[in-house]
A and B are shown apart, each in its own frame.
Chain A
Amino acid sequence: METPILLALLITALPLAGFVIQIFAGRFLPRQGDWLPTSMIGAGLAMSLYLLVTGVFGSEHGMEPVQWTMTWFDIGATSRFHVEFEVFVDNMTVIMLNVVTLVSFLVHLFSTGYMHGEERYHRFFAYLGLFSFSMLGLVITSSILFLFIFWELVGLCSYLLIGFYFFKNSAAAACKKAFLTNRVGDTGFFLGLMILWVVVGSFSFDDIFKSLSDGTWNDQPGLLTAAGLLLFAGAVSKSAQFPLHVWLPDAMEGPTPVSALIHAATMVAAGVYMICRMFPLLAGIDPEAGTAAILTGNYFHSDTLLVIALVGGFTALFAATIAVPQNDIKKVLAYSTVSQLGYMVMAVGVGSPYAAMFHLFTHAMFKACLFLGSGSVIHAMHHEQDMRKMGGLAKKLPITHLTFLASTLALAGFPLTSGMISKEAILTQAYAFWEFHDRSFLHLLPFLFCLLAAVLTAFYMFRLVIGVFYGQPRDHHAYDHAHESPLNMTIPLMVLAAVGVFGAGIAIPDIGPGTKWFEHRADVKVLAGGLMTDETIVADAATRAAWADESHWHDLHAEHPAEGAQAAVVEFSHAYHDAHWPTMFLATGFGLFGIAFAFWVFKYRRDKVWVKEGGFLDGYRTVLLNLYYVDDFYRAVPIAFTHFLARLCAGIDKIIVDGIVNAQAVITRVIAWVVGRVDYHGVDGAVRGTGEAALELGRRVRRIQTGKIQDYVGLTVYGMALVFIVLTIWVLN
């Protein structure tokens, strides 16, 4: 077993050990054992960093992918069903390992302060450990079945942690809603998984990708599209995309560190991670070019990807609008998360898993920081979450304020922050996507949605910052008692803010440990595993071109001048190149405009009513506060219908199905009664009748017993004469 595999397994297993010890023995340990899962994940972080430094930064293209498998079970005489547990470590795995362990470790640390003194403190840490295990397992496996298994397990942890305050009705409802909403998407995921298994006969990423080029799907291209869309359905629920986004805002019922870890940085990003990993499959087929598409690099005609791009883009805008009028500090961040996840999903849809993963990485850092920062604020305000009761906290909470502001700038896409760089990568790709499709309106939509969302993001985030940290305090009592959080809570904030703002810096050419480290190491070649060999490298050149600079592209082009992908690649490369600068200016400009607008509205015109009562905007605001009535629709239609069907089935069961059984019993009893009567009066009556007849006969016959001998002789003579006559007649006949 190679070292990276061993380390990956160890990183994953340690939190599990922490969970097991913690759930059974946690309450008996000193400090209720909070140090145990924390140190476990800390050790995991150290090992992940080791892998990052030696592996990913060890050479220009990062580490060589390594794989390790173990048979899970075998079924059937022919072993058609051979299932393996597969572990796979490549650049993307290592990057994800680092994201997860870093955020998780900091959240553990933050929780030792934030959750201090809570009831079931030890169990909270146990759940965190279980979550870390599941999430890390999801990252290291290269079997789609195991990805699904861990996928469900993180869902379980999410359920347990959202319901941590289960004695509150709202939390109880929220955790159920989260699990069930996810279950809907996961059913799709599962169906997709089954298609893959039936067609490919394996769950392994490698085999799945190989099937794309060996003609397996040739006569059933529809199934490939279906498989891609069904897998995406899983991502829609897990990454809270429209229309299954409804659970995420409610999930804020969980403790704030949980929101930071699970519902902002890692678990919700698992959906994005999954579709990035599965990108070659989603991009799979060009309906005209057949299976050759994957090898010509012509991803951009995939129907699946267009659907993904539209869903992601729409979600980005949709959630951003809802975030604007929210007053609960965590709700704003929740909708912001939905919106940012929309960006990532759209990035995959427009053909750039690299940009999606990049944004996932930067977003995980600054959004975790924002959530933990909001936790610090809530902690200071004694569990007050309404920003209308805050204000002016910048003076009281200097560290929280600065880190929060820095992360907000990153989220708003302020120039030179990581957020701006990763967002720009997505927008450029989206723009090129449009250009590439002859500027069709449908293909422009994702770009437009995201551009508008960028303005709104800057706007609502600064509304939040201004409302919480600037201006005059609105609740003096709470303000007077507010105080900065202890070090174990502020250190995580500072680390996350630093990585969140400057993390992408290493992606800027000629800065950081490796030039374009992310681009060179998380490209499709890696995603597709063994499929993309040096011989077929030109195949993914189109996507490669999306992040490679021109010279890099030309190198490739020079190496393989005669490849069939040429036209598409050249065209796309031009589109991308043309899009680069305009989108950067557009995105940055829109972001800055959003920030300025927020300051103008909430700082400068603070006391002015800027929405006319009863006007169009006011009406729209009501719609927004009602979350576009999506939840109401779900309650009124699918949920009500399910309950109706349930009552209907139960009624049928009781009245008809069981009714027939009981009727059968009643009929049997009626028949039995009738038969009983017949028996008594008829059959038994006949028997009794016979007896009575005999008696009656006896009574009558008795009369001839007179006791006189002459009577008897006479009777005998008559009788014998009668017999004689009868016999004579019979014989004569």
Chain B
Amino acid sequence: MLLTLVTFIPLITAFVVLAIPSEKKAAIKWTALIAAIVVFLLATKLIADYRGGGENATQVFDRQVTTLLEKVQDPGRRRLMEAGVAAIKLDFETRKASDERGPADYAAAVGLTLAENDPDHGTWRSVWELSMAQGAAAAKDIRFVEYAPWIDSFNIAYFMGADGLSLPLVWLTTLLGVLCLAYSWNIEKATKAYFALFLMLQTGIVGVFLALDFFLFYVFWEVVLLPMYFLIGFWGGPRRIYAAIKFFIYTLAGSVLMLVCMLAMYFHAGYDSFNVLTLMEVARGFSHDMQYWLFLGMFVAFAIKVPIFPFHTWLPDAHVQAPTAASVVLAGVLLKMGGYGFFRFSFPLCPDAAAGNIPLWGSFNFVHFLATLGVINIVYGAFCALAQKDFKSLVAYSSVSHMGFVMLGLAALTDAGVQGAALQMFNHGLSSAMMFLIVGVIYDRAHHRNLDKFGGIGTQMPYYTGIATLGFFASLGLPGLNGFISEALVFMGAWDSQAKSAGYPLDPKFVYWALPGIVLTATYILWTVQRVFMGPMKSETYKTFPDVNFREVFALAPLGILCVVFGVWPSLILDFMNSSLSTIVQVVAAVRS
């Protein structure tokens, strides 16, 4: 229930907001903010309760079986069914004990027979799905499972669950939701629509992170597009229409490929199932050819979102044109949907491709492919950032650069690399959100973002400068702040990948090539700090700028504090993610040849 609440409270609130008359702006804002705070608190509760909290797939399975059996009146049929259930359970136990996690044909057969002979087909089907799902390695860490049949005829279910990978991202989304709504307090243009769209957006993003049914995931994925399209297209900068359409069509083009992959798996797996956990169990049986195309198709969909070179050009346009709060959500969590897709779908569903068993062309396999693009992202993004004159587009390119670490860490396929990648997503969510807010603050005052025209802000706005410096250094990867640990882990993981003992496939040359990125990052960040905050004041008008107000501090300070907290105490989040991510690494590593 908790997951449903966290996901859908924003959507319901959006409708409530729409019902409020447009003139009552205060009511609209407060309703939205309070809802966001409630959701944030619920998400925090999820985090706190994660260990042992909620139900896992097995518990939901048991509960559903009990209720189903109670409904059966005919004693003979009931005995038959009990025997069937016992068979499913036995099969599952055997598989668990023997650690052989292949497709459970026997359980499948029994389950399907049960399902077909009962009028309550949909529910039985869900029992079967759950029994399959239990078998997946990833299932052991997934808690707060919610399962209900949705579209019976295609076996589509409302299947939600959270693990160490998704929960931090959900928490980050709800946190940014609160901060962004508070930061948007000064939105005067069509306030009602703005706040309603923002809340809908949040439902979409949280849904993406929690959905465990591929179809449901796809629906949430598409739901995210529309609100963001309108937020950019209506409240954005001068080229907002261009940026919004580009963002929409680009992402849509990618998700069409994802749809194709999804359907291919649905039909190819032989179980007519969208259940991600079931698919994880089945996918390892897929041929290399099949995985090759599946991986490539999903890669394009997720790569556009991350974004990975050369699919990144929608990002600078969308970021620069979007209103500040939308940029924050874009950079903070929307990009992570792509990264999350790699963790949750690409890697476990195409393990052979992810492990480097399938050559892309010649001896160049998918691991090299991801690592190469990751390195290009890091270095090329940093070079592009260095050349920008527009403050916001510099920050946008810095996102391109930072997301490269996620790809490099994933490609490494070591515990350190994959955890570094996941942590980098979270950390980038904090620091990039902070950077966009910082740009927003100065843009609200100066009404321009030209780096060459700034200068000397530091004397006029000391508190702003202090917070901004913190944010910039977090982004730069200064030890003691969060970014350092994830970048270091990615590098260590990528390098360790070639350690003889591990026998992993990644060449250390990727590390050498990515290292200049560290220096370049420092270069563009410090140069920006110098141009904006230091030196003599370049314009008399800057003398009239007030320092940060309460609204801005409210949005910035929590992020700054978290940057320090996770920098000093990374185990807070690393311990949380450890088990879930190790499982992904093991699943993929198990098929490595």
Contact = CB atoms under 8 A, between A and B. Distances in A.
B515 A148 contact: no
Instruction: Among A184, A198, A658, find the residue whose CB has the most chain B CB atoms closer than 10 A.
Output: A198
Instruction: Among B480, B570, B575, find the residue whose CB has the most chain A CB atoms closer than 10 A.
Output: B480
Given A156-B473, A167-B534, A180-B523, A76 B518 contact: no
Contacts of A197: 492, 495-496
Interface of B: 246, 249-250, 309-310, 312-314, 380, 383-384, 386-388, 414-416, 419, 456, 458-459, 462, 466, 473, 478-480, 484, 488-489, 491-492, 495-496, 498-499, 511-512, 515-516, 518-520, 522-523, 526-527, 529-530, 533-537, 570-571, 574-575, 578-579, 582, 585-586
Interface of A: 23, 71-78, 80-81, 120, 148-150, 152-153, 156, 159, 163, 166-169, 171-173, 176, 179-180, 183-184, 187, 190-191, 194, 197-198, 642-643, 645-650, 653, 657-658, 660-661, 665
Nearest to B519: A183
A166 B534 CA distance: 5
22 contacts: A72-B571, A73-B574, A75-B578, A76-B582, A77-B585, A81-B489, A120-B462, A148-B479, A166-B535, A167-B535, A173-B530, A176-B526, A183-B518, A183-B523, A187-B515, A194-B491, A194-B511, A642-B386, A642-B523, A650-B383, A661-B250, A661-B313
Contacts of A198: 492, 495-496, 498-499
Contact of B536 (A72, A169, A183, A665): A169
A163 B479 contact: no
Q: Is the interface of B mostly helix, strand, loop or mixed?
A: helix
Contacts of B250: 661
A314 B498 CA distance: 37
Instruction: Among A78, A148, A166, A173, find the residue whose CB has the most chain B CB atoms closer than 10 A.
Output: A166
A230 to B, nearest CB: 11
A75 B419 contact: yes
B354 to A, nearest CB: 17
Which 10 pairs across A and B sit closest by C-beta, in order of nearness? A76-B415, A172-B534, A650-B387, A649-B383, A149-B479, A646-B386, A73-B571, A658-B313, A646-B387, A166-B534
Contacts of B496: 80, 197-198
Given A74-B575, A76-B416, A169-B535, A646 B518 contact: no
Given A166-B458, A166-B534, A183-B518, A75 B416 contact: yes
A732 to B, nearest CB: 54
A267 to B, nearest CB: 15
Nearest to A660: B310
B313 A180 contact: no
B479 A172 contact: no
A650 B520 CA distance: 14
Contacts of A73: 570-571, 574-575
Contacts of A665: 246, 249
Given A78-B415, A661-B246, 15 more contacts: A73-B574, A74-B578, A76-B415, A76-B582, A77-B579, A81-B416, A148-B479, A167-B456, A167-B459, A167-B537, A169-B536, A180-B522, A183-B519, A649-B380, A657-B309
Contacts of A149: 479-480, 484
Given A74-B574, A148-B479, A163 B534 contact: yes
B591 to A, nearest CB: 17
B489 A75 contact: yes
Contacts of A194: 491-492, 495, 511
Instruction: Among B246, B484, B526, B585, find the residue whose CB has the most chain A CB atoms closer than 10 A.
Output: B526
A646 B386 CA distance: 6
Instruction: Among A172, A643, A665, find the residue whose CB has the most chain B CB atoms closer than 10 A.
Output: A172
Nearest to B389: A650
A63 B246 CA distance: 68
Contacts of A72: 570-571
B459 to A, nearest CB: 5
B582 A77 contact: yes
B535 A179 contact: no
Contacts of A650: 383-384, 387-388
A198 B491 CA distance: 11
B571 A152 contact: no
Contact of A179 (B249, B313, B526, B534): B526
Contacts of B586: 77
B480 A153 contact: yes
B575 A81 contact: no
Instruction: Among A76, A153, A156, A642, find the residue whose CB has the most chain B CB atoms closer than 10 A.
Output: A76
Contacts of B419: 75-76
B140 to A, nearest CB: 12
Instruction: Among B314, B384, B499, B582, find the residue whose CB has the most chain A CB atoms closer than 10 A.
Output: B384
Nearest to B381: A649
A648 B536 CA distance: 30
Contacts of B415: 75-78, 80-81
Given A81-B416, A167-B536, A653 B313 contact: yes
Contact of A643 (B386, B458, B578): B386
Contacts of B484: 149, 152
B578 A646 contact: no
A81 B519 contact: no
Nearest to A639: B523
Nearest to A146: B479
A81 B473 CA distance: 25
Contacts of A657: 309-310, 312-313
A578 to B, nearest CB: 46
Nearest to A151: B479
Instruction: Among B414, B415, B489, find the residue whose CB has the most chain A CB atoms closer than 10 A.
Output: B415
Instruction: Among A23, A77, A120, A648, find the residue whose CB has the most chain B CB atoms closer than 10 A.
Output: A77
Nearest to B571: A73
A648 B387 CA distance: 9
Contacts of B515: 187, 190-191
A669 to B, nearest CB: 12
A647 B527 contact: no
A645 B380 CA distance: 9
B310 to A, nearest CB: 5
B521 to A, nearest CB: 9
Contacts of B249: 665
B526 A180 contact: yes
Contacts of B380: 649, 653
Nearest to A145: B488
A172 B519 contact: no
Contacts of B536: 167-169
Contacts of B512: 191
A559 to B, nearest CB: 40
Given A75-B489, A183-B518, A191-B515, A166 B533 contact: yes
Nearest to B386: A646
A645 B520 CA distance: 11
Contacts of A180: 519, 522-523, 526
B416 A646 contact: no
B478 A152 contact: yes
A657 B308 CA distance: 12
A645 B383 contact: yes
B458 A167 contact: yes
B270 to A, nearest CB: 31
Nearest to B524: A646
Contacts of A76: 414-416, 419, 578, 582, 585
Contacts of B511: 191, 194
A198 B502 CA distance: 10
B540 to A, nearest CB: 15
A648 B518 CA distance: 19
Contacts of A148: 479
A75 B530 contact: no
A665 B313 CA distance: 13
Contacts of A183: 518-519, 522-523
Nearest to B586: A77
A660 B578 CA distance: 41
Instruction: Among B310, B462, B570, find the residue whose CB has the most chain A CB atoms closer than 10 A.
Output: B310
A23 B462 CA distance: 12
